[in-house]
Chain A
């Protein structure tokens, strides 16, 4: 029997409504029973962990459903599912899409677990968890969408829920400002994408990605700039990245982890799917990505060097890290270098783990000590040794030091550059190394501040709810660095599929 392609998506979307209803019911029941003096926040706190666990459960359930899909997609090729008619929901599960979906669901589940404690001082949690589930649903939808209509729809679902989540702490000014900026820029991006889709439809009369590829009408290429700008905003390609540092810096840390780890990558994934479906030649597309990559790495790292807020620094580092992913895929598509594509895809995975981990650590620091400015964090590593050590693993991994996960993905990209045997490949490699070195220029001092001895702090207890997701991700960063086979087993079929699409 074929596994149902729409089930993970259905679980996430139904789960969002279910969690909202349950949260409301619990709240209502409590309100009737409790003294009228009690505030919403206190009411919520009592059920918070239940709701968080419920949400994690929904995420994991969706994740478990991806496994049979993955097996089937590897075994017998992409699986399709869909309702009839031009505007029905049509999904297709292939290795690349399932890879993205697994990342989104995996990181999302950890973030919900983390939020159980991290968000315990915030109100309105009956909105927070459903929004997070909708965001995950949007990403899974993008990953599995079979036509442009659904791609756009799920892209909007992801974007709109993330606008709301960025501005979730609406009682403060900065998050709202950041969310509004993200909303305006993201909205322009969506409009661009819609325009592009209309052009494609005008040229080919098709919306299905496979059908568009079959129609291969060069007039449809007119839409390419619109897609690049539209999805480029979502993917924060330099110079369209200006919303990112604000949004990532001001969002609740769990949401920052999601944005940096999977949301912007989903935007890039959408761009990749659409442009390849349009029959845009991989060689030119690769060159374009390489150009964006070199720009992104350099700008991201240079901007990260001058940041004073930890989370903004991490945000700019994401701009740079997405550059490495683009570089791998770009060199791979331009030159046909297999290792580079594999490295780029593997870096998607390792970066999600490492950047997720570093944002979660930054969140714990803010939660336990209230500090946001880097220079005030002196000695925090001694107060919260687990967080300090995990943050160290994360940033050293991001800088590409062995034996951590980031090294494994970066050396694959580097090896791909060597395989090209062309001057451009060597230049890219030199830029990659120079940027890795440059990034050490802010990662190491940040670690140095955390473990500075100038301000002795008392050791603090760390809640298990916060420690668990951090431990999981830290273990992942270490294990993928020492034993990358499980990660490569996910990335290899996806890499094969990328080359299949190129043909």
Chain B
């Protein structure tokens, strides 16, 4: 017993608290999601509140990791899991992981609060909230995992959770076929991931993602290029990069709104997280080889998404295609391989999370109040729903990159990164894309909230506050992050610094 007392000195104890915090961020939501479906009677009415509290607590626990990260390095938790195969239950978080963790737990919390009102007339809510939590801890686990197999497991939990949510609570009779399409598409991407993960594992004998960097120098460059391509495609499907995006508009428009918010504002970013986590481990020549194709893919997504958003008639699909375009920005920023561009890319994830959640929440409020989703059947709502109109306007300006809203900061960094590459033409093209964004976003606001109102349009005034509050909070955030961006700049800088790519 004496030996144990000695090993847990004061300094050790502090470390172990943080390490267990890491575990708690995962296990607490898992436990709650298992308990929720078992609640009966009076308690069954509180499932939504419990779920939102759980997600909120996960967000707070992620925030609580900051002081320890400020002291330097990373926080890790590790236990033997399948020792006979050299695989551990290893969790690890650095600044990059923290940024994504904050993004996804925050978005989940707000969409769960939003769901209280939006989903209140639906059935099997306990299962709904449990699956929402499963969706969240799938994402959180993928961010926290340090072991490749663990990463893949959580990656698929995320897919299973989101797919079940679309299939079981999606709008309209097409829900199941859309869910099937979503599943098959993204699962193919996952299988490509699995292939490259296992190839990396068998070639290097190491299943720790963070240790790959040192070992990949010895692997044949030709094979590495193949693996890089597989990983990029695998993550690109999740990120909905053109031409791998085809699942996105259907899934985003059929999913119930809280799920759409999570898909768009949190899950798409997971694709970028995967790229940021795996790809810098490859030797510089391999990365440089793929820089140009990825830049081109980024620009193509920007323009394709923007043009499709202009052409779409349905409110949800317009915002959905805007995600394809925005993920193009993020990919472009990463593919520049320039420090500034990559910082802009991760900063854009946070900003896109805020703005895209905001826009979808606004669309949800409009759909709730009018029961319509076609833009042509809407109009002149500003008088009836001034608050929603204001928030939606903020969202549209922010996504177009207009200062003083948050989108501006990440976009200029991404473009600056683009001009640091030799491909000036692509950088110019990328810089033009926000004009397209401004076009569809502002036109959308104009068509929905201004102009003549159709005769038959009736507006219900019973939108619950739990749906309005997240919307208002997000528009305040979008403005605040634009006016005082220093904390986010610092976070993005440290996130990229923790990749250790300098040199």
What's the nearest-Cβ distance from chain A to residue B209, in Å?
A: 16
Q: Which residues of B contact A440 (CB under 8 A)?
A: 183-184, 187
Measured CA separation A488–B156 after assembly (Å): 22
In the bound complex, do residue A402 and residue B157 qualify as a contact, i.e. CB atoms below 8 Å apart? yes
Partner of B160, one of A339, A396, A454, A485: A396
Measured CA separation A382–B187 after assembly (Å): 26
In the bound complex, do residue B180 and residue A445 qualify as a contact, i.e. CB atoms below 8 Å apart? yes
**Residues in A419-433 with C-beta less than 8 Å from chain B:** 419, 429, 433
Binds B, one of A118-126, A245-253, A300-308, A407-415: A407-415
Residue of B nearest to A430 (CB): B195
Q: Which residues of A contact B176 (CB under 8 A)?
A: 445, 448, 452
In the bound complex, do residue A403 and residue B180 qualify as a contact, i.e. CB atoms below 8 Å apart? no
Q: Total interface residues on A, using CB and 8 Å?
A: 31
Q: Which residues of A contact B184 (CB under 8 A)?
A: 437, 440-441
In the bound complex, do residue B152 and residue A418 qualify as a contact, i.e. CB atoms below 8 Å apart? no
In the bound complex, do residue B202 and residue A415 qualify as a contact, i.e. CB atoms below 8 Å apart? yes
In the bound complex, do residue A488 and residue B160 qualify as a contact, i.e. CB atoms below 8 Å apart? no
Partner of A418, one of B149, B157, B168, B199: B199
Q: Which residues of B contact A339 (CB under 8 A)?
A: 85
What's the nearest-Cβ distance from chain A to residue B191, in Å?
A: 5
Total inter-chain residue pairs, C-beta < 8 Å:
64
Partner of B149, one of A411, A444, A488, A492: A411
What's the nearest-Cβ distance from chain B to residue A444, in Å?
A: 6
User: DSSP majority for the B interface?
Assistant: helix
In the bound complex, do residue B191 and residue A411 qualify as a contact, i.e. CB atoms below 8 Å apart? no
Instruction: Decide yes or no whether A114 CB sits under 8 A from chain B.
Output: no
What's the nearest-Cβ distance from chain A to residue B96, in Å?
A: 23
Digit string of A390-405 for contact with B (CB within 8 Å is 1, else 0)?
Answer: 0000001000011100
With A419-B202, A437-B187, A488-B84 already in contact, the answer to whether A429 and B157 are too (CB < 8 A) is no
In the bound complex, do residue A403 and residue B157 qualify as a contact, i.e. CB atoms below 8 Å apart? yes
Q: Total interface residues on B, using CB and 8 Å?
A: 29
In the bound complex, do residue A444 and residue B183 qualify as a contact, i.e. CB atoms below 8 Å apart? yes
Q: Which residues of B contact A419 (CB under 8 A)?
A: 202
Measured CA separation A437–B195 after assembly (Å): 14
What's the nearest-Cβ distance from chain A to residue B127, in Å?
A: 8
Measured CA separation A436–B84 after assembly (Å): 26
Measured CA separation A401–B149 after assembly (Å): 12
Q: Which residues of B contact A382 (CB under 8 A)?
A: 124
Q: Which residues of A contact B82 (CB under 8 A)?
A: 484-485, 488
Instruction: Decide yes or no whether B216 CB sits under 8 A from chain A.
Output: no
Measured CA separation A134–B176 after assembly (Å): 45
In the bound complex, do residue B198 and residue A411 qualify as a contact, i.e. CB atoms below 8 Å apart? yes
Instruction: Decide yes or no whether A451 CB sits under 8 A from chain B.
Output: yes
With A411-B198, A448-B176 already in contact, the answer to whether A403 and B156 are too (CB < 8 A) is yes
In the bound complex, do residue B198 and residue A418 qualify as a contact, i.e. CB atoms below 8 Å apart? yes
In the bound complex, do residue A429 and residue B191 qualify as a contact, i.e. CB atoms below 8 Å apart? no
Digit string of B68-97 for contact with A (CB within 8 Å is 1, else 0)?
Answer: 000000000000011111000000000000
What's the nearest-Cβ distance from chain B to residue A413, in Å?
A: 11
With A401-B156, A411-B149, A445-B180 already in contact, the answer to whether A429 and B202 are too (CB < 8 A) is no
Instruction: Decide yes or no whether A465 CB sits under 8 A from chain B.
Output: no
Partner of A407, one of B84, B153, B167, B202: B153
Q: Which residues of B contact A415 (CB under 8 A)?
A: 198, 201-202
**Residues in B126-164 with C-beta less than 8 Å from chain A:** 149, 152-153, 156-157, 160
In the bound complex, do residue A429 and residue B195 qualify as a contact, i.e. CB atoms below 8 Å apart? yes
Measured CA separation A199–B460 after assembly (Å): 86
Measured CA separation A451–B163 after assembly (Å): 13
Measured CA separation A419–B204 after assembly (Å): 11
Instruction: Decide yes or no whether B188 CB sits under 8 A from chain A.
Output: yes
Instruction: Decide yes or no whether B491 CB sits under 8 A from chain A.
Output: no
With A402-B153, A419-B202, A452-B176 already in contact, the answer to whether A414 and B160 are too (CB < 8 A) is no
What's the nearest-Cβ distance from chain B to residue A454, in Å?
A: 8
Measured CA separation A497–B199 after assembly (Å): 27
The 10 closest A-B pairs by CB, nearest first: A402-B153, A418-B202, A448-B176, A402-B156, A403-B153, A433-B191, A418-B198, A415-B198, A419-B202, A444-B180
| Listed A/B pairs (10) with beta-carbon separation below 8 Å | A402-B156, A407-B153, A414-B194, A419-B202, A429-B195, A437-B184, A437-B191, A441-B184, A448-B167, A448-B179
